[in-house]
């Protein structure tokens, strides 16, 4: 009940972020139900299609956790423990809010799926897609409830784990006033990215192997190519914080002025917060560019509406997670910004430093995305 009251009185931007979580959860739930409907008519080869739904599911869970971290109602504040809102209670509130949002999205997905099947009214869209929705077959209730519970369950569990660690770390006084230590995941990220590209290239040259049914022209790609591509994406996500930290270091080289020094120190301090979402977005965009390279100017992409929906969910959730992480880091930067204002720093200086940070990140991650996309597309086009 407290979570509902906090949600009702939340800021409009916080409500908008929660509505986006509801929309993302509804999209993933609809994809899962459509995969179930297709499997009821085509039992052979249905498991790989279900596994492909894990990608938008993971993107949605990541976005839900990011929204929970920036929720003003569950942010640790001084004195809340005295009224019973300590770290454990705030974690429970955040997990409950995430569960409510994702469950609402799953309910919307079920209603929309039943409407398209014609179970709630007349068959819409002139009966198109009846084979995909298993129109003439009864839906297995246990399977439907299990699939719809995936997003709320994983999102709630991930939110609880992340918020518990976050609230306890925030409640402790800082041990040092220096910039945050360098992230340690960069070597592992580089190693996984290199290994993924190598596996993808080797599998494409070897040929053969299992070929799970995939959308578009990916149906001729071996399982090794897909495994290498996934490993590359994980590597980029791990390397993101380290690359962001190095961006801050580079900004401070060669006798930096006040703007470059401020921008570099801020990037180094925020590397953990925005680095991983940057790495995930880099992996997603590189995959999109690699897939787009399969088609010439006159080709028509045979991707169906469900494939397009899944791609839109992954791209949208990755971009929204990055924006949400930027909002969180901005909230954490408020005391520092206030101190700079008291010291006489004008607003133009802070805006210029923010523009320098964005330019530096774009200058590093844009070529990296293009390079990974070009290397990942080579095995798919040969």
Tens digits of per-residue pLDDT, 60-84? 999 999 998 888 766 665 555 555 5
| Mean confidence (pLDDT) of the chain | 80
Tens digits of per-residue pLDDT, 321-335? 999 998 888 888 888
pTM (two decimals): 0.84
pLDDT reported for residue 179: 77
What residue has token string 């930096």?
Answer: 256
Between CA 236 and CA 197, with CA 285 as vertex, the angle to 5 degrees is 45
Structure tokens at 142: 């246990």
CA dihedral sign, ordered 264, 269, 275, 277: negative
Tens digits of per-residue pLDDT, 284-318? 998 888 777 766 555 555 566 778 888 899 999 99
Neighbouring C-beta atoms of residue 187, cutoff 10 Å: 11
Tens digits of per-residue pLDDT, 2-14? 555 555 556 678 7
pLDDT reported for residue 187: 92
CA gap 228, 41 in Å, rounded: 31
CA gap 198, 201 in Å, rounded: 5
pLDDT reported for residue 362: 93
pLDDT reported for residue 9: 54
CB distance 219 to 211 below 8 Å: yes
DSSP state of 124: S
DSSP 154-189: HHHHHHHHHHHHHHHHHHSPPS-SSPPPPPS-HHHH
pLDDT reported for residue 380: 67
Tens digits of per-residue pLDDT, 249-263? 999 988 888 889 989
pLDDT reported for residue 219: 44
pLDDT reported for residue 149: 94
Tens digits of per-residue pLDDT, 333-347? 888 888 888 888 788
CA gap 189, 237 in Å, rounded: 7
Among candidate residues 242, 302, 299, 309, the one with its CA nearest the CA of residue 274: 242
Structure tokens at 240: 């993101």
What residue has token string 């010439």?
Answer: 296
CA gap 73, 41 in Å, rounded: 46
Among candidate residues 11, 368, 328, the one with its CA nearest the CA of residue 197: 368
CB distance 197 to 374 below 8 Å: no
Tens digits of per-residue pLDDT, 121-159? 655 555 555 656 777 778 888 989 999 999 999 999 999
CA gap 276, 65 in Å, rounded: 13
In the predicted structure, residue 28 carries a pLDDT above the cut 90: yes
In the predicted structure, residue 209 carries a pLDDT above the cut 50: no
Alpha-carbon distances, residue 125 vs 121, 129, 135, 270 (angstroms): 12, 8, 13, 48
């Amino acid at each position: 009940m407290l979570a509902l009251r906090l949600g009702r009185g939340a800021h409009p931007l916080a409500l908008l972020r929660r509505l986006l979580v509801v929309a993302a959860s509804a999209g993933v739930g609809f994809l899962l139900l459509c995969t179930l409907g297709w499997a009821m008519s085509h039992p052979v080869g249905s498991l790989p299609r279900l596994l492909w739904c894990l990608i938008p599911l993971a993107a949605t869970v990541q976005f839900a956790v990011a929204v929970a971290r920036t929720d003003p109602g569950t942010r640790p504040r001084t004195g809340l423990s005295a009224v019973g809102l300590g770290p454990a209670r705030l974690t429970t509130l955040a997990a409950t809010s995430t569960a409510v949002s994702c469950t609402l999205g799953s309910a919307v997905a079920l209603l929309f799926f039943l409407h398209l099947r014609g179970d709630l009214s007349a068959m819409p869209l002139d009966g198109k897609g009846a084979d995909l929705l298993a129109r003439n077959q009864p839906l297995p209730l246990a399977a439907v409830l299990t699939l719809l519970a995936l997003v709320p369950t994983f999102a709630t569990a991930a939110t609880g784990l992340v918020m518990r660690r976050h609230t306890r770390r925030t409640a402790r006084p800082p041990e040092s006033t220096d910039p945050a230590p360098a992230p340690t995941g960069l070597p592992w990220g580089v190693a996984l990215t290199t290994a993924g590209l190598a596996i993808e290239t080797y599998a494409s040259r070897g040929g053969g192997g299992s070929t799970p049914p995939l959308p578009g022209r990916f149906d001729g790609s071996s399982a090794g190519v897909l495994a290498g591509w996934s490993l590359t994406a994980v590597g980029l996500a791990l390397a993101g914080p380290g690359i962001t930290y190095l961006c801050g270091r580079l900004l401070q080289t060669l006798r930096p002025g006040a703007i470059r020094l401020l921008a570099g120190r801020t990037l180094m301090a925020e590397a953990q917060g925005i680095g991983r979402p940057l790495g995930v977005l880099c992996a997603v965009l590189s995959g999109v560019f690699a897939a787009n390279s399969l088609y010439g100017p006159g080709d028509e992409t045979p991707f169906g509406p469900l494939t397009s929906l899944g791609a839109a969910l992954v791209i949208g959730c990755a971009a929204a997670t990055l924006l949400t992480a930027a909002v969180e880091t901005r909230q954490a930067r408020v005391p520092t910004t206030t101190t700079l204002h008291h010291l006489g720093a004008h607003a133009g200086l802070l805006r210029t430093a923010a523009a320098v940070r964005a330019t530096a990140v774009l200058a590093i991650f844009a070529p990296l995305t293009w390079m990974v996309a070009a290397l990942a597309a080579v095995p798919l086009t040969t």
